[in-house]
Structure formats: structure tokens, C-alpha cells
Chains A and B, each alone.
Chain A
Amino acid sequence: MNIVTTRRISQIFFFIIFIWFCFVTSPGDQWWQLRGWPVNWIIELDPLVGLATLLSTRAVYAGLLWGLATIVLTIVIGRFFCGWLCPFGAIHQFVGFVANRKKKTAAKIKLNAYHPGQVSKYWILVFLLTISAMELVVDLIRLPGNNQWLFALLVLAALALTVRHTLGQTRLNVKKTGLYFIGFIAIWLLLSVLFKANRAPAASLQIGLLDPISLVYRSINLVVLPLMDQTSLRLSPAPRLYDGTWLIGAVFLAAVLLNLLKPRFYCRFICPAGALFGVLSRFALWRIGKISDDCSDCHACEKHCEGGCSPTTQIRSNECVLCMNCMDECRHGLMTYQNAPSATGEILELDLSRRQFLVSAVSGAAVIPVVRLSGNLAGNWNPALVRPPGALAEQEFLSRCIKCGQCMRICPTNVIHPAGLEGGLEGLWTPVLNFRIGTSGCQFNCIACGHLCPTAAIRPLSLDERKGLGEFADKGPITIGTAFIDRGRCLPWAMDRPCIVCQENCPVSPKAITTRSVFNTINTGSKLMVERADAFYVEIQATGLQVDQYATGDYYCRAVSSADVRPRRIISNWERGLKVAGELAFEPPPAPGSQIEILVKLQQPYVDPNRCIGCGVCEHECPVPGKRAIRVTADNETRAREHALLLRRP
């Protein structure tokens, strides 16, 4: 079989697998819903996710070890991931092909020529990886203060290397070299003193913004499948809505439409994973090249060159995505996949200058400290940022979340949403709970999001841990926030209307919402004076009541100036009188000419912050239609001790 056909089959296969995994990430018990499919596999195969989280957390979490297989294979055979596996790459290749298929050969060759701007993806990679590595860098700066032995060892090793390097030089300049060396050590020591007391958190992860797999998962999960829900092909019983997805959709659409400008624009100019593969493929044992330099320079090999790697002249192996189209196009059979270098030469070095590298690295190093000057991880944390149960403390969370949207897709109630700027700029598209959208609050019996999170930004909880049962009994349930009652909007608090839907729906036992009953006097306009009365009937002097207005079981009546002011439940009323229930008679009946009052019995809700888990079912169900009268904020969330609301005694 033709190698290009094989490559196409591979791309279609992985694309179908990817789409299938997105499809089946639907809660439910049908065969096409979550049935233990390895839905994170494509994310795990992406080594940029593994590498970036390794830098930011110093560990490779669970399935992310799959990235090692991709790395090993890339080192051996080159950027197969881009050309053969990546579902986003497959989309670009297909759209690029459709958009440019009618162009003339010369125009196609021009489109697919190497462009010096392709170096920009390496800037992006360096920028994003520096963000991930900042904690490591800060620790390295602190080394002289924290680990003198390791520091001394490093200095000695550096000294040995410098001496060896200096000796190898023909023109010795011991003074200058020594000065540089001492200066470098002095600056390090100085910086270590400067940063010694500094506890400013440095770990963050922004790879998910542009990592192709995170981007394509996010776009399919939060834009494409929810759009499908609007048709009869819907996957969820209630169509999925996600707050603020316009930006995600715009980025996805822009990335796809850029193929009209140049095929695989994203892969060539933007993709940080592609850049990583470019670096890794430097030592590839096999690569594309010519078997002989007996070439007519027809450039046919560049007609459909997906990587823009100029196979005609000196091929740039780090740009080559192994699309193998050149092997197909060359009429002389010169192009091949071999372990010898191309006969017309190859360029292995990146086009990345030291200056460009430094600018990208320094920008990456600066961006998170600058963003955090807002105090979003300190006193200015946003209480509206309610994270899913099991989410790590905010800084650890931000050093793991890749914004892939898997938690938002799997959430059975659709309450997890991509954050806008609630979590600051660096929290863009990370999961945040929105209790106004969705079918309920965060379900007390659900732990789906943490079990799907590919990077453990949301830790996989057991049901026992979530609910504070079994071995977690002394820890109590996981709390994601606390509900607060807005007494100015609450019906029984502000409007003399019975309600307590929040209390009814509170899922914890005993309930975190309790009530206290009060009897409030109703404003009846004018005073109600008794015409005549007996033990159960009271007739008033003027008409003015609506028939059975007070017969709902919530209204009571009492004699104002009587010794017995206990309220009697009204069971019916007419225009100028009312009847009270048999359980408590008027003894004696109110005297003619005396005043009676109508009261409403209100159960006013109170939240017990000790019991509230912040699930937001109350906020979701609150009948106040606009801004709810009970709302959850992140106060008292388990994941941050400094957000504790209550003084706890052991």
C-alpha cells in the first residue's frame, strides 16, 4: 500500500478514536456513554502535557506516562505525532487541502515553502515552558541558601568545566574568564539572598492555552458537541450550555480558518507541541531526504509539503511532519525515508537565535509574577471562583490544569464551566461552578470530574472522602464553598411569603439549612375590627378581604388586646369574616369592637456553615428568578485553609 494512503488511514483512525472518546464522555448507562473507555488517551499521548506538568509539579501523573512512548518514538522516527496521529493536525490538513485544492501547482509550491516565521512556534514553546518551570528556577536560585553541599558541588563542577574549556582555547584569557566565573557565582549568591525569604508562589501552567490536544478537546467538548445538542442528534438529555464559550469557539474557528491563508498554519507557526517535536526529532534515526543530488529542482516535492520543510533544497527535519507527500510527488523517486542525511543536505539547527530564546524565556518568566501582582492568590482571591470538589489548592491547581474541558464535559449536571477572568488571566478556561446553568447543583453522590481529570488538578476522590464517611469520618465532607442567604431578596425574610425551597433541597443530613418560624403581621390596609365572634368564627366590621385569600394554611389570626395572643390558623375566609381551625378555639371570643390581626407563619431559612458543603443545589433551586436569594461563594472551601470561615476546635 502507498505510504501516503497508510498515513491517511492512520490519521482517520486516530481522528475517529478522538471523536469517539469525546462522544462517550457523556454520563449515562447506554453503551455509547461512559463505559470505561480510555477517553484521556490522546491527551496522555501528548508529551507536551506530560513535560509541562513535570516541570510545574515535578511528577508525571498516572497516564501521562504515555507521553514517554511518544517522545521515544519521536526521537527514533521524527514528528509522526503531527502527521499521523494529531486530530487537530488532521483537521488542519483536511481544511488546508479543501481550501487550496484548486490552486495551480506553482501557487501550491509557494504556499508550502518554508517561511522564516515558522520559528514563532519555538518562541511560544519557550514562553510556555518557562512559565511551567518557574518554580524550578526559583528553587535553583535559592539553592545556596537551602542546600550548601549541592551548591558547592555545582560550583566545583562548573569550575572544572570552565578550566577545561579555558585550557582548550588557544588564546588564554584567565583573568577575564575568572572574572566572569566569580561574577556569575556572586550574582547567584546575591539572588539567593534576595529570594531567600520570598515565598511567592511561582508554579503555573499555561500550556493548555495553545497545546493542540487541549485546544481541540476543549473546542469539541464545549463548542461542537453543545451545538450538536441543539439539533436532534443531541448527546445529553438536557442540551449543554457553557458560559463564555464564544472565545473558545472564536479561537478554534480562527485556528481552522488560518488554513485558508496557509495549509497547516497552526502547526507551522503556533503549535507548541509541534515545536517540542521539532526539538526532539533532531536526532531522529530515520528522516525524509533525497537519495541522490541528481535533482531537476522541479519543487514538485514541495507541492503538498505539510510541514513547509523545503525538501527540495536543504530539508529542515525539525519542520517535517512526516506527511510523506514528497515521496509520492517526486517523479524521479529521489525522496525517501532513510537514516542517511539528505543528499542535498539538511538543516538540523532551529532557526531560533539566542536573542529570541532569551526574549521568550524572560517574557515567560515575567508574565505569571506580573499577573499575580493582582493578589489573586493572596488576599484578593475571588470568592466567586467555586472549584469542583477535589480541586487542589489554587496555586497547585493552576500548576496542573490544562483547560481541556474534560471535567466540564463529564459533569452530569452541567454546572462546571470554563472560567472567564474569575480566576484572573491565568485561570482562563479553568473549571468554575455556575449554579444558574445546568440541571442541578454539584451532586453529593458524584465524583466524576476528579476521576476524569488527566492531570489531577482535580484530585480523584472516593465517595467516602467526598461525603466524609468511613475512614474520612473525622475529616467531614469535602466543602467547595458556603451558601449565604441574601435576606433582602429572600421571600420569607423580605417579602412575607413562605418558601424554603432551599431547605427542602439541601442534600446533606442533617440539613445545612434550618428554619426558624416567625409570625409576621400582614398589612391589611385598614385595621380589622371585630363585629361579632364566637370560638371559631370572626366577623369584621368592614368588607375588604378576598375570598379564601388567607385560606392557604399559612395564615393565622389573633386578637390584639386579648390576654391570649396565640395565633389561630385560618382555614377559610370570606369578604368580612374568617374561620379558624378546630385545634385552637378563641376562649373567650374576641369582643365586638376589638382589633384582630392577620399573621403569616414564615419559616425563615438559616445556613449552618458547619454543615454546608457548597454544592449549590439551593442556589440552583431558589425560586427568586434573577439574582438568587441564596448564593454559594468559595468561603470555607476545604482546599484552602486560609479560606476557612469557622473557628474549628479539636
Chain B
Amino acid sequence: MNPDPDKNDLTRRQFMTRAVKAGGSIAVAGAAGFWFHDSNGPGRSEEIESDIRLPDFSVPDLGPKMSIIRGRNRVETLRLAVKSIGGIENFIKKGDRVLLKVNAAFASPQMLSATTHPQIVSEMTRLCLDAGASLVIVSDNPINDPGSCFTLSGIADAARSAGAQLFLPRDDAFKPLSVPEGKLIRNWPVLYDPLKRINKIIGTAPVKDHHRSGASMIMKNWYGLLGGRRNIFHQDIQTIITELAMMIRPTLVILDGTTTMMTNGPTGGSLADLKETSTMIAGTDQVAVDAFGATLLGRSLNDLPFIGMAEAAGLGTADYQSLNPVMAEV
């Protein structure tokens, strides 16, 4: 309170200034209120259909090819397997950017064969780079901690020393994607960052027992491109494997049957789970390659419904013999 009433007098000028300021403030507050006013409130959130589609990575007009090479030395069998289906030049041209999709699912050492063998990673990288590839990315979205998986499996070292780029999944690398003819892969997060940077894809996986689906080989290995809470797909494992094969039409696949995990898959964990089967398979038809892989596990096609389902979907043939695979030994 000011005890001096004279000093409380407001001049006309002062009053006008104050009135204009007050009016301006009211106008701004009112305008802001109407500007931001939302009479409806939020509605039900609608999923936006993803428009990302993956191209067909296979080499056109090459036709299905397959080779089955017996031998224990992975580098030698791999080289011969690739050579027998026309050589790497058939698949990788100068300037190609290649994704080598490995199986790095578990933080487990290479001797337990739960992951792609590092020798395959380094040799495949070298082959691609020698054929003129400008970029080779090695990636997977593993089940265990990604850093531990790539390091312990030896894949990280093998990839880097051979000149490939290692890509560890990050949250922002996934984008929702749909498989046009699929029922399950609808707007599902997929490891898109490496996929958008490449024009060729090579899948490589070991042959492993898998209790739910029967076997984990090439087609099942694309599971490592899925993100999100993908384990929900185990409710319909045969269909998801089939849809994964629809999603990825690979340039080339390498199935490593040098050592097969006969039991306790797909994690293994003991040398007692493994069996020397000394076989390397290369091919362009992932269904045929998996169909042959089943024989290494001693499983019939009835045990692995996804092979029949993939064949029915026109993704390849379960009758690998019909491809007249090149058989050789080193």
C-alpha cells in the first residue's frame, strides 16, 4: 500500500498504455486458445500401412542352381561350391552392394556351431570383394546381446579383417514392412537399414536342429531380419518361415553342413550335440537347399512342413534332385 494517495493517480496516458497491453495479452491468449483447441480429442490410433517393399535380389534368368560339396575344410568346400554353380561372378558384379546375412543368434563360441562359422564370413566377403563388390555388410538381429553374439562367435573379427562392414542392429534401423502375399508379416519391423543400402543378398547358416519347426537352416535364418516382439510368430512357425522366404528372394545361399547340430538346437551348447557331416551346399533355390539340409539332420519333408508350404507358394522346389546338383568332393 502506498500511503501517499497522490502518487496512486494514474495519468490518462499511463492508463491507455496499460489498457493496450492488457488488450494485446488477452488477444494473444485468446488466439492461442483457439489455435490449439481440439474439440474431438484423440480417436482410435490407426496403423499406417507400410509402403516399403523389398525387391527380388535374385539374378534374373540364371535359373535354379545348386552344388553339394563333400569335405571338411570349409574354405575349400565353399570355394568349390560357389565355383560349381558358375562362380561368384555369376552373382556379384562390379559395384554391387552385398548383405551377407549370417546366423549370429547366440553368444556362443564358433566350436559349438550355433552360429555361422567365421571362415564362411571371411571367405564369402573376400569372394564378393574380389568380384568387385563395392560394399559387403555383415548383419543379423541376434537373440542374445548383439555385441556379445558377434564377438564371441568370431563373426565380428572375421568380417572386419576380411573388409566387410559389420552392422549391429539399433532401434532406428528397423522399419515396418509388409510381405504383399503374406498374412503374418504385415507392418512388422524389419532390419531395414542394411537392406536399403544393398542390391544383393547372400544368406548363410549352419544346419541345426530346431524343436518347434523341425530345423533351422536357410529359410529360418531370415528370422534374424525381424525386429519387435517377433517371438509371437512361434505360434505359427511354419507359416512365418514360409513368409520369410517370400520376403527375401536371395541372390545366393550357402548352407554349411560341415558340422550339423543334431540335438538341443538351435542353441546347442555342447560338442555332444554336434555331428561331422562334412557337406557344403550352395544354391539359388533356398527351398531345394533346405530340402537337402534336412537329409543331413535325418529328417523327412513331413517333419518340416515349411518346405512343402514354401514349394506350394512357388518359392522353389522341394525335390532338389530335379536341379541336378553338382556333386563333388575336396
A203 to chain B, nearest CB (A): 35
CB < 8 Å: which of A237, A504, A625 contacts B267? Answer: A504
When the two chains form their complex, are residues B234 and A498 in contact, meaning their CB atoms are under 8 A apart? yes
Given A515-B211, A623-B234: A444 and B171 interface contact (C-beta under 8 Å): no
Quick check: is B143 within 8 A (CB to CB) of the other chain?
A: yes
Chain B residue with Cβ nearest A448: B148
Complex CA–CA separation, A507 to B149 (angstroms)? 13
Chain A residue with Cβ nearest B232: A623
Measured between beta carbons, the chain B residues less than 8 angstroms from A603 are: 211-212
Assign chain A's interface to a size class: 35 or more
Measured between beta carbons, the chain A residues less than 8 angstroms from B266 are: 504
When the two chains form their complex, are residues B267 and A500 in contact, meaning their CB atoms are under 8 A apart? no
Given A412-B148, A440-B144: A491 and B235 interface contact (C-beta under 8 Å): yes
Chain B residue with Cβ nearest A501: B231
Complex CA–CA separation, A500 to B231 (angstroms)? 9
Chain A residue with Cβ nearest B149: A440
Quick check: is B145 within 8 A (CB to CB) of the other chain?
A: yes
When the two chains form their complex, are residues A499 and B234 in contact, meaning their CB atoms are under 8 A apart? yes
Given A237-B168, A445-B107, A507-B269: A553 and B229 interface contact (C-beta under 8 Å): no
Q: Render B118-146 as a binary contact track against A, CB cut-off 8 A, 1 for contact.
A: 00000000000000000000000001111
When the two chains form their complex, are residues A504 and B212 in contact, meaning their CB atoms are under 8 A apart? yes
Interface size on B, residues (CB 8 A): 43
When the two chains form their complex, are residues A507 and B212 in contact, meaning their CB atoms are under 8 A apart? no
CB < 8 Å: which of A443, A571, A582 contacts B107? Answer: A443
When the two chains form their complex, are residues A505 and B143 in contact, meaning their CB atoms are under 8 A apart? yes
Measured between beta carbons, the chain A residues less than 8 angstroms from B152 are: 445
Chain A interface helix/strand/loop/mixed: loop
CB < 8 Å: which of B106, B144, B235 contacts A498? Answer: B235
Interface residues of B in 294-316 (CB under 8 A from A): 302, 305-306, 308-309
Quick check: is A329 within 8 A (CB to CB) of the other chain?
A: no
When the two chains form their complex, are residues A443 and B302 in contact, meaning their CB atoms are under 8 A apart? no
Quick check: is A494 within 8 A (CB to CB) of the other chain?
A: no
Interface residues of A in 548-568 (CB under 8 A from B): 551-554
Complex CA–CA separation, A438 to B305 (angstroms)? 34
Quick check: is A644 within 8 A (CB to CB) of the other chain?
A: no
Given A445-B107, A507-B269: A554 and B236 interface contact (C-beta under 8 Å): yes
Query: Which of B108, B145, B231 has the largest count of A CB atoms less than 10 A from its CB?
Result: B145
Quick check: is B54 within 8 A (CB to CB) of the other chain?
A: no
Interface residues of A in 228-245 (CB under 8 A from B): 237-239
Measured between beta carbons, the chain A residues less than 8 angstroms from B234 are: 498-501, 504, 623
Quick check: is B206 within 8 A (CB to CB) of the other chain?
A: no
30 interchain pairs, CB-CB under 8 A: A237-B147, A237-B170, A238-B146, A440-B143, A440-B148, A445-B108, A445-B152, A497-B235, A498-B212, A499-B235, A500-B211, A501-B212, A501-B231, A504-B210, A504-B266, A504-B267, A505-B143, A507-B106, A507-B267, A509-B267, A509-B268, A509-B269, A509-B270, A510-B270, A511-B267, A571-B305, A622-B231, A623-B229, A623-B231, A623-B234
Extra inter-chain contacts (13) besides given A498-B236, A500-B212, A509-B268, CB under 8 Å? A29-B151, A237-B147, A413-B145, A439-B145, A491-B235, A505-B143, A509-B264, A509-B272, A515-B211, A552-B238, A583-B302, A617-B144, A622-B231
B interface residues, Cβ below 8 angstroms from A: 106-109, 143-148, 151-152, 156, 168-171, 210-212, 229, 231-232, 234-239, 263-264, 266-270, 272-273, 302, 305-306, 308-309
